[in-house]
Amino acid sequence: MAQINPDTTVGELVAQRPARSRVFETLKIDYCCGGKLALSKACANRGLDTGTVIGLLEQADGQATDVVDAGAMSLGDLADHIVRAHHDFLRAELPRLDAITEKVFRVHGEHEPRLKQVREAFCELKDEMLSHMAKEEHVLFPMIRKMEQTRTPQSCCGGTLAHPIAQMEAEHTQSGDALATMSAATDGYTPPPWACNTYRAMLDGLANLERDMHQHVHKENNVLFPKALALESQLTGARAGGSSRCCGA
Ligand SMILES: [Fe+2]
Ligand SMILES: [Fe+2]
């Protein structure tokens, strides 16, 4: 088994072996929006010993994995997988959690003032993600699929893929901030002793939402986007500037 290098970024480590994401989830190391950080730096930021964390990652490598290997997919297959597994999940889960966070805030907000932060951060995340997914599905993912199929660089409004990808990454960071706010305001989704079943269901749903968002953003930030940019650069070099346009601009 290849040794894990502490200088490798946490995003690359998960891209190599998706099961490692479980270790990072447990240790609260951000491998999606914070995926460009070296393992040693990410461990230092969390006050963790890098050697111990490498031991846990190697242990995870030795165990069977049922996590999808995004790195082994074509760009088109990965974009399809992200839509089916993560966008469809959000379209089903966001309305359910919208109703539940509204109810819990309305009923228990006076007793627990931090529920206002949870509700506001959730609404921000929901609005952001619904618009974000539409942009990926209608603009960026079709450009990536077409580039892969036709082996031709795609141009959107005169620019390369770098601009829409940077925009999507910035929106991921905003969503990550909203998730961090909800986690902090609920003590890591821990129910207070007096919490009713609806309150507990809300925390369970939000914790699940956070886990899914981490996987989702990781697959885009650390696998799909870098591979798409690498292919674009390869094709641009080969064609010396020849490209087709995506939106008729
Ligand atoms: Fe997405
Ligand atoms: Fe995204």
Q: Ligand 1 centre and the CA of 220: distance in Å?
A: 7
Q: Ligand 2 centre and the CA of 173: distance in Å?
A: 10
- Please determine, for residue 76, whether its predicted confidence score (pLDDT) is greater than 70: yes
| 128 alpha carbon, closest ligand | 2
- Please determine, for residue 26, whether its predicted confidence score (pLDDT) is greater than 90: no
- Please determine, for residue 237, whether its predicted confidence score (pLDDT) is greater than 90: no
- How is residue 62 written in tokens? 């030795």
User: Could you tell me whether strands 154-155 and 244-245 are parallel, antiparallel, or unpaired per DSSP bridges?
Assistant: parallel
pLDDT per residue as tens digits for the range 199-227: 999 999 999 999 999 999 999 999 999 99
- Please determine, for residue 42, whether its predicted confidence score (pLDDT) is greater than 90: yes
Q: Ligand 2 centre and the CA of 113: distance in Å?
A: 31
More confident residue, 243 or 101: 101
What is the mean predicted confidence (pLDDT) over 101-118? 96
Tell me what pLDDT residue 62 has. 76
Rounded to the nearest 5 degrees, what angle is found at the Cα of 136, between the Cα atoms of 131 and 139?
A: 105
Q: Ligand 2 centre and the CA of 224: distance in Å?
A: 10
Calpha distance 117→57 (Å, rounded): 34
Tell me what pLDDT residue 135 has. 96
- How is residue 71 written in tokens? 């790195």
Tell me what pLDDT residue 245 has. 53
